């Protein structure tokens, strides 16, 4: 019998590779660049950051930024805060807001910010969410207050849905509150943020810090 060199048809493998690349391109979402970076103090605590969190970031210059990792709750809270501040928003703006990262603007400035392209948003100087509590409730208070209410509703709805579907429900997957402050942040600003949580009846919150090595035992 005449000898012949074996051959392997690579066409199916190439097709599969392109299908996988196309799938990941269509299903992946790019995280928005953070508008602010803070250098947090360090500690030896190894508690992980919650799965779902309402985070207030405090810069060394005293600006406060908010972020909420649950898009469904984030859109509802955004609507309620805007209604509270007499700011009109469209359904499209609510949808866009649910997909952005941290933001440090007044409620009246957010609509204009959402109209910009992603690369143009990085050029906007954000002055922080107002937190001054003198005389009336601040905007930061309403963000924390409505997040607490909507977080509870979201938890109960997911719990009821799990019971109907007879599925296991992770009770630890609850929106928690946290503060991430720069190591050089002013004490009075952090004190204002803590007071906002107290006024909004947030009973527990975490302080986000960097991890340092534990001291060696002699």
Has residue 9 been placed in a domain? no
Has residue 25 been placed in a domain? no
Non-local (6+) Cβ contacts of 85 within 8 A are: 107, 108, 139, 142
pLDDT mean over 129-144: 84
- Whether pTM > 0.85 for this model: the answer is no
Has residue 35 been placed in a domain? no
Confidence of residue 10 (pLDDT cuts 50, 70, 90): confident
- Return d(Cα 73, Cα 179) in angstroms, integer: 19
33 pLDDT higher than 70: no
- Return d(Cα 201, Cα 50) in angstroms, integer: 19
pLDDT mean over 3-11: 72
Q: Which of 217, 218, 191, 208 is nearest to 50 (CA)?
A: 208
Has residue 15 been placed in a domain? no
- Higher model confidence: residue 4 or residue 93? 93
Q: Which pLDDT belongs to residue 217?
A: 62
Domain count, the chain: 1
Confidence of residue 50 (pLDDT cuts 50, 70, 90): confident
Confidence of residue 17 (pLDDT cuts 50, 70, 90): confident
Enter the DSSP assignment of 103. Answer: B
pLDDT tens-digit series, residues 73-116: 999 999 999 999 999 999 999 999 998 889 999 999 999 999 99
CB distance 186 to 64 below 8 Å: no
pLDDT tens-digit series, residues 159-194: 999 999 888 888 778 899 999 999 899 888 899 899
Q: Which pLDDT belongs to residue 9?
A: 76
Three-class HEC string of 111-148 = HHHHCCCHHHHCCCCCCCCCCCCCCCCCHHHHHHHHHH
32 pLDDT higher than 60: no
Has residue 99 been placed in a domain? yes
Has residue 37 been placed in a domain? no
Task: Give residue 133's domain range.
Answer: 42-211
CB distance 55 to 34 below 8 Å: no
121 pLDDT higher than 90: no
How large a percentage of the chain has pLDDT more than 70? 86
């Amino acid at each position: 019998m005449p000898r012949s060199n074996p051959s392997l048809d690579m066409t199916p493998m190439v097709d599969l590779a392109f299908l996988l690349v196309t799938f990941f391109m269509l299903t992946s979402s790019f995280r928005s660049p953070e508008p602010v970076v803070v250098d947090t103090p360090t500690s030896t605590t190894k508690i992980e950051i919650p799965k779902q969190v309402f985070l207030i970031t405090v810069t060394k210059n005293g600006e406060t930024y908010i972020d909420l990792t649950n898009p469904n709750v984030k859109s509802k809270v955004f609507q309620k805060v805007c209604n509270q501040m007499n700011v009109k928003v469209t359904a499209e703006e609510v949808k866009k807001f649910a997909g952005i990262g941290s933001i440090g603007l007044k409620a009246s400035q957010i609509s204009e910010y959402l109209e910009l392209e992603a690369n143009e948003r990085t050029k906007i100087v954000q002055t922080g969410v107002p937190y001054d509590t003198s005389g009336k409730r601040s905007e930061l208070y309403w963000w924390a207050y409505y997040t607490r209410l909507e977080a509870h509703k979201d938890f109960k709805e997911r719990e009821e849905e799990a019971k109907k579907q007879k599925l296991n429900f992770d009770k630890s997957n609850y929106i928690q509150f946290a503060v991430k402050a720069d190591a050089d942040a002013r004490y009075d600003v952090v004190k204002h943020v803590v007071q906002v949580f107290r006024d909004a009846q947030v009973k527990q919150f975490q302080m986000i810090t960097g991890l340092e090595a534990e001291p060696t035992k002699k």
